[in-house]
Amino acid sequence: MFAMLCRRYGAPLEWSEVPDPRPEPHQILIRVLACGVCRTDLHLVDGELPDAKLPVIPGHETVGTVIGKGEAVDRFRLGDRVGVPWLGWTCGACAFCTSGRENLCDSARFTGCHIDGGYAQLAVADERYCFPIAGEYSDAAAAPLLCAGLIGYRTLRLAGNGRRVGIYGFGAAAHIVAQVAVSEGREVYAFTRPGDSSAQAFARAMGAVWAGSSTDAPPVTLDAALIFAPAGPLVPAALRATDKGGTVVCGGIHMTDIPSFPYALLWEERMLRSVANLTRADARAFLALAPTVPVKTHTVEYPLAAANDALADLREGRLSGAAVLIPEREL
Ligand SMILES: [Zn+2]
Ligand SMILES: [Zn+2]
Report pLDDT for 1: 97
**Each residue's pLDDT tens digit, 120-155:** 999 999 999 999 998 999 999 999 999 999 999 999
Q: How close is the Cα of 6 to the center of ligand 2, in Å?
A: 27
- 149-162 b/e (C-beta count within 10 Å ≥ 16 → b): bbbbbbbbbbbeeb
Q: How close is the Cα of 152 to the center of ligand 1, in Å?
A: 10
Q: How close is the Cα of 220 to the center of ligand 1, in Å?
A: 30
Q: How close is the Cα of 89 to the center of ligand 2, in Å?
A: 9
**Each residue's pLDDT tens digit, 60-117:** 999 999 999 999 999 999 999 999 999 999 999 999 999 999 999 999 999 999 999 9
Whether the CB-CB separation of 161 and 168 falls below 8 Å is answered with: no
Report pLDDT for 273: 98
Helix (H, G, I), strand (E, B) or coil at 192: strand
Q: How close is the Cα of 144 to the center of ligand 1, in Å?
A: 9
**Each residue's pLDDT tens digit, 221-270:** 999 999 999 999 999 999 999 999 999 999 998 999 999 999 999 999 99
Instruction: Among the bound ligands, name the one nearest to the CA of residue 149.
Output: 1
- pLDDT-derived band at 19 (thresholds 50, 70, 90) equals very high
Instruction: Among the bound ligands, name the one nearest to the CA of residue 91.
Output: 2
- pLDDT-derived band at 328 (thresholds 50, 70, 90) equals confident
Q: How close is the Cα of 273 to the center of ligand 2, in Å?
A: 21
Nearest to 162 by CA among 229, 220, 117, 105: 220
| pTM of the complete model | 0.96
Alpha carbon 291 to its chain's center: 18
The radius of gyration of the chain's CA atoms, rounded to the nearest angstrom, is 19
**Each residue's pLDDT tens digit, 281-323:** 999 999 999 999 999 999 999 999 999 999 999 999 899 999 9
Name the percent of the chain lying above pLDDT 70.
99
Enumerate residues 6+ apart whose C-beta is below 8 A from 79.
Answer: 65, 66
For β-strands 87-89 and 109-110, DSSP reports them as antiparallel
For β-strands 322-326 and 299-303, DSSP reports them as parallel
Q: How close is the Cα of 39 to the center of ligand 1, in Å?
A: 6
Q: How close is the Cα of 250 to the center of ligand 2, in Å?
A: 23
Q: How close is the Cα of 263 to the center of ligand 1, in Å?
A: 32
Q: How close is the Cα of 8 to the center of ligand 2, in Å?
A: 29
Q: How close is the Cα of 36 to the center of ligand 1, in Å?
A: 8
Alpha carbon 318 to its chain's center: 18
Instruction: Among the bound ligands, name the one nearest to the CA of residue 112.
Output: 1
Q: How close is the Cα of 208 to the center of ligand 2, in Å?
A: 38
Instruction: Among the bound ligands, name the one nearest to the CA of residue 90.
Output: 2
